[in-house]
Homo-oligomer: A and B are copies of this chain.
Amino acid sequence: MTERDIRRLLTAYRAGERSEEETVAALAKASYENLGFARVDHSRELRQGFPEVVYAAGKTKEQLLAIMQSLAAASDGSILATRASGEQYAFVHPALPEARYDEAARAIYLRREPPLTAPPQDESHEILIITAGTSDIPVAAEARLTAELYGNRVRTLYDCGVAGIHRLLAQEEIIRRARVIIAIAGMEGALASVVGGMAQAPVIAVPTSVGYGASFSGVTALLSMLSSCAAGVSVVNIDNGFGAGVLASKINALS
């Protein structure tokens, strides 16, 4: 539930469009709604500027739908469920026809009004997403969708790995001037250090599980990014495009 939601509730109440009882019930749900198997956190938007996002993995499709419906009913903000399967979407969509599925990002979402905190929609407030390889694109897609739902313009540079550093250097101006950067790489994750050394912006590094053997499903990229010789780089979990998207949105919203 956003500030806007609360204001509308109160206006409707004063205008007699909603009874006192209805209004109280709606506000009571502002904190959270107990579905038994889930306590949907309706105050997250008020508290953090963004609505609760659903982690779909490990939830039954019935649980997922119920939570998304609860969120959709309580807020007019965008709704996002990450790590969702196509099968879950097939179940959710008929009941929530507004829902869309981003296959690359494996996310179900309802695109609605951006948050009040969204930054200006101009070039100087873009979030820049860079990937080391083509195989990192699904993680980038999750970060991109997240950031866009939260009202950000996003620019992407895919397949700029350091083994052909001229591909990266060709983007030097874009990187140097970026406001927030998400750097996504698997294998040895060296992209984060090189970008971190070129950029003035805060860099959010996302290790991916791309690679084999000593890449250890992203652990090597993770440790590498944490040990980066470039300062100003911080790291989120392996393949966590969503987390990077939220953090970038929070930083981009500063003024």
Contact = CB atoms under 8 A, between A and B. Distances in A.
Interface of A: 31-32, 36-39, 41, 43-44, 47-50, 52-53, 55, 57-59, 63, 67, 83, 132-135, 137, 158-167, 169-170, 176, 179, 187-190, 192-194, 196-202, 204, 207, 209-216, 218-240, 242-244, 246-247, 250-251, 254-255
A199 B46 CA distance: 11
26 contacts: A31-B167, A32-B170, A37-B137, A39-B158, A39-B159, A41-B167, A43-B166, A48-B199, A162-B194, A162-B197, A164-B197, A187-B229, A188-B190, A189-B224, A190-B190, A202-B247, A213-B226, A213-B237, A213-B239, A214-B219, A214-B227, A222-B226, A223-B223, A231-B242, A231-B247, A251-B251
Given A167-B39, A167-B41, A187 B247 contact: no
A238 to B, nearest CB: 3
For the complex formed by this chain, how many copies does it contain in all?
Answer: 8
Given A32-B166, A229-B132, A232-B48, A213 B224 contact: no
B48 A200 contact: yes
Contacts of A37: 134, 137, 158-159
A38 B187 contact: no
B227 A158 contact: no
Contacts of A233: 236, 243, 247
Contacts of A36: 158
A105 to B, nearest CB: 14
Q: Which 4 A-B pairs have the closest CB atoms?
A: A213-B238, A58-B135, A190-B190, A234-B234
Contact of A226 (B49, B176, B237): B237
A188 B187 contact: no
Which one of A83, A190, A219, A222 has the highest number of Cβ atoms from chain B below 10 Å of its Cβ?
A190
B166 A31 contact: yes
